[in-house]
């Protein structure tokens, strides 16, 4: 049964209007407010509402912000790359060799991620620290005599912790896209003489591209703004833009600058994501 | 082929060890006697769990977190059910765009959501308390609820609805007596997942909490005191067990919802 167009519109909007208005009030309005605030200035507690680009000029010219933006992007892109790189063979294994136990494997993968994110990130500090699990283990093996100090409090530690923390967000979408591949295509390609490697690059990889692209975006966009991980395992060399936004907002009492930094991060992230999607659109459009 | 699948299996198990590494340390250190979180272990003890009983600030944080998690999961499930019903049942203009907008918090960096909400609340002169966190969490949880409810509504057979209307039920009666019982397992799954996610959410709570500290904000503060770390590990162990129980429960309800619908289809 198909309703007329108008009837559907009325009934649909009657239901959707409540969540839609809620999101307008709690998402669109605050984002607009943040955007406005980024063009104002603040002197301790008094807000000066004259329109100015001062905050953006400061964000673009001060070396510290440039450093933090670049570092956040590099950390986030590297973490995204490694997460997807490790997740792909795992998803492939479950989808093609999981057999009867696919559900069990997926369940096994998600369990550790119901540990509090804060505590999980803190535990990386326990693993990588000076008296940490890894150092004690290596000393016990007599592979090293002095604890390694380069493990914790740097950008690499942040990348490692993020690669761990976001793993299921890559494994699950890639698994879903691999599951959708028609297995008869693979049989056909084998019958027609494709080697396993040909098959992988000509069928499996292109057909699973939507999952890979989705996974990359799901990880890249939120991790650029991650606050917890750099603060816990990053040390001073691993701090990211979110940490600066928080400092400007609280201790430095400069909410407009914090707003300008937030808006800038959002713009940069959106720009990179759009370019990334456009670059890969042939894989997304075909199927 | 079998050789490559053997390597793949070795990789899968190694990767699994990596994924479990932090989580496996959690119970180890929460039962370890020593105050220092490091190897070698010094002995088995329940003292850190016992210590949790005497931390009043923790009990307040737990109370706040429960209020936030219960309220926001209920609100988000209501909003998510409405949005999901509207978009799975009806086809209309602006549907995709508005749905994408409502789903946006799923992918937006949490710090952006937190900062922008804080700016508005400060500008409006609203005092930060559990309610500001509840609103923030509702915004964050609604997309998850929509995803869960979509799978519940998508499995729904349209002919059941039509039958009910033909037999003289009005719209409300149809929803209440036919649709609701069928999607109820989905609603329960949405409530449980929402509750679990809210209980663990830090950034938005950190920005919007004011003095009504929630559990993750309390844990964050504990990280500064090395003496309190073993008890924090014990707390983490308890939270993990609770999360897994809630997760299994929600999985049970999702399976039941599928079975319920299958049994209806098979009777037809």
Task: Flag if A97 and B5 touch (Cβ within 8 Å).
Answer: yes
- Stretch A39-57: mean pLDDT: 86
CA A135 to each of CA A123, B17, B29: distance values in angstroms, whole numbers, following the listed order: 14, 18, 17
- Stretch A38-66: mean pLDDT: 89
Task: Flag if B25 and A15 touch (Cβ within 8 Å).
Answer: no
Task: State the Cα–Cα distance between residues B32 and B48, nearest whole angstrom.
Answer: 9
Task: State the Cα–Cα distance between residues A233 and A223, nearest whole angstrom.
Answer: 14
Which residues in chain B have Cβ-Cβ distances shorter than 8 Å to A259? 115, 119
Which residues in chain B have Cβ-Cβ distances shorter than 8 Å to A165? none
Task: Flag if B19 and A112 touch (Cβ within 8 Å).
Answer: yes
Is pLDDT of A285 > 70? Answer: no
Which residues in chain A have Cβ-Cβ distances shorter than 8 Å to B79? 18-19, 22
Q: Examine residue B12 and state whether it is found in any structural domain, yes or no.
A: no
- Stretch A17-35: mean pLDDT: 95
Query: Whole domain around residue B83: which residue ranges?
Result: 56-267
Backbone angles phi and psi of A254, in degrees to 5: -120, 70
Pick the residue from chain A with its C-alpha nearest to B80. Answer: A19
Task: Please give the pLDDT value at position A287.
Answer: 46
Task: Please give the pLDDT value at position A5.
Answer: 54
- Its sign, for the CA torsion A209, A211, A212, A217, is positive
pLDDT tens per residue across span A114-127:
888 999 999 999 89
User: Residue A41: helix, strand or coil by DSSP?
Assistant: strand
Domain count, chain A: 1
Q: Examine residue B94 and state whether it is found in any structural domain, yes or no.
A: yes
First to last CA, chain B: 44
DSSP H helices, chain A, are 5-23, 29-37, 54-61, 63-97, 102-110, 117-128, 133-140, 155-165, 167-179, 183-191, 196-199, 205-224, 228-233, 241-249, 255-279, 281-286
- Its sign, for the CA torsion A13, A14, A20, A24, is positive
Q: What's the CATH number where B255 sits? A: 1.10.3720.10
Task: Please give the pLDDT value at position B126.
Answer: 87
pLDDT tens per residue across span B26-58:
998 889 888 877 777 788 888 889 888 888 899
> How many angstroms away from the CA of B186 is the closest CA of chain A?
18
Is pLDDT of B90 > 70? Answer: yes
Task: Please give the pLDDT value at position A1.
Answer: 46
Q: What's the CATH number where A270 sits? A: 1.10.3720.10
Q: Examine residue A59 and state whether it is found in any structural domain, yes or no.
A: yes
CA A241 to each of CA A52, A226, A260, B120, B207: distance values in angstroms, whole numbers, following the listed order: 22, 8, 12, 21, 16
Task: Please give the pLDDT value at position A3.
Answer: 46
A contact test, residue of B77, B109, B228 with most A CBs within 10 A: B109
Q: How many CB pairs under 8 A join A and B?
A: 228
Task: Please give the pLDDT value at position A286.
Answer: 53
Task: State the Cα–Cα distance between residues A32 and A213, nearest whole angstrom.
Answer: 29
> How many angstroms away from the CA of B209 is the closest CA of chain A?
14
Q: Examine residue B221 and state whether it is found in any structural domain, yes or no.
A: yes
Q: Examine residue A96 and state whether it is found in any structural domain, yes or no.
A: yes
Residue from B207, B68, B123, B78 nearest A33 by CA: B123
pLDDT tens per residue across span B236-264:
999 999 988 988 888 888 777 677 767 76
Q: Examine residue B28 and state whether it is found in any structural domain, yes or no.
A: no
> How many angstroms away from the CA of B188 is the closest CA of chain A?
18
> How many angstroms away from the CA of A57 is the closest CA of chain B?
20
Is pLDDT of A56 > 90? Answer: yes
């Amino acid at each position: 049964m198909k309703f007329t167009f108008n009837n559907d519109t009325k009934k649909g909007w009657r239901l959707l209007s409540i969540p839609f208005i809620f999101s307008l009030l709690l998402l669109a309005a605050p984002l607009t407010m943040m955007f406005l605030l980024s063009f104002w200035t603040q002197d301790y507690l008094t807000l000066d509402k004259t329109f100015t680009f001062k905050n953006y000029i400061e964000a673009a010219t001060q070396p510290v912000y440039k450093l933090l933006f670049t570092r956040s992007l590099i950390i986030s892109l590297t973490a995204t790359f490694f997460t997807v790189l490790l997740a792909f063979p795992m998803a492939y294994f479950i989808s093609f060799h999981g057999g009867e136990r696919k559900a069990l494997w997926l369940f096994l993968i998600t369990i550790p991620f119901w540990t509090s994110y804060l505590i999980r990130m803190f535990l990386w500090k326990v693993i990588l620290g000076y008296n940490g699990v890894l150092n004690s283990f290596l000393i016990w093996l007599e592979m090293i005599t002095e604890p390694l100090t380069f493990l914790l409090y740097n950008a690499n530690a942040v990348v490692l912790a993020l690669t761990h923390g976001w793993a299921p967000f890559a494994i699950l979408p890639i698994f879903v896209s691999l599951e959708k591949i028609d297995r008869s295509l693979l049989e056909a390609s084998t019958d027609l003489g494709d080697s396993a490697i040909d098959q992988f690059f000509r069928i499996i990889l292109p057909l699973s591209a939507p999952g890979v692209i989705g996974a990359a975006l799901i990880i890249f966009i939120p991790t650029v703004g991650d606050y917890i991980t750099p603060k816990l395992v990053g040390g001073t060399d691993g701090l990211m833009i979110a940490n600066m936004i928080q400092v400007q907002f609280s201790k430095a009492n400069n909410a407009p600058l914090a707003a300008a930094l937030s808006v800038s991060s959002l713009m940069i992230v959106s720009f990179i994501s759009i370019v990334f999607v456009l670059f890969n659109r042939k894989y997304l459009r075909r199927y | 082929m079998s050789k490559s699948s053997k390597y793949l299996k070795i990789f899968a198990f190694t990767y699994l060890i990596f994924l479990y590494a932090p989580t496996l340390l959690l119970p180890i250190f929460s039962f370890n006697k020593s105050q220092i979180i490091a190897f070698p272990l010094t002995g088995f003890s329940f003292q850190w769990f016992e210590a949790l009983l005497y931390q009043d600030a923790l009990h307040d944080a737990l109370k706040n977190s429960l209020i936030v998690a219960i309220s926001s999961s209920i609100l988000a499930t209501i909003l998510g059910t409405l949005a999901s019903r509207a978009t799975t049942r009806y086809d209309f203009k602006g549907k995709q765009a508005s749905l994408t907008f409502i789903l946006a918090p799923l992918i937006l960096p949490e710090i952006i959501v937190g900062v922008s909400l804080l700016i508005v609340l400060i500008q409006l002169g609203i005092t930060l308390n559990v309610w500001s966190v509840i609103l923030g969490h509702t915004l964050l949880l609604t997309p998850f609820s929509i995803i869960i409810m979509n799978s519940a509504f998508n499995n729904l057979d349209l002919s059941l609805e039509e039958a009910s209307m033909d037999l003289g039920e009005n719209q409300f009666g149809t929803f209440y007596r036919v649709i609701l019982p069928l999607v109820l397992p989905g609603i329960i799954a949405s409530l449980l997942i929402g509750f679990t996610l809210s209980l663990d959410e830090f950034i938005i709570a950190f920005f919007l909490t004011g003095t009504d500290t929630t559990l993750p904000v309390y844990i964050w503060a504990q990280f500064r005191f090395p003496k309190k770390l073993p008890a924090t590990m014990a707390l983490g162990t308890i939270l993990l067990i609770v999360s897994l129980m809630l997760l299994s429960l929600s999985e049970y309800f999702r399976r039941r919802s599928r079975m319920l619908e299958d049994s209806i289809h098979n009777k037809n």
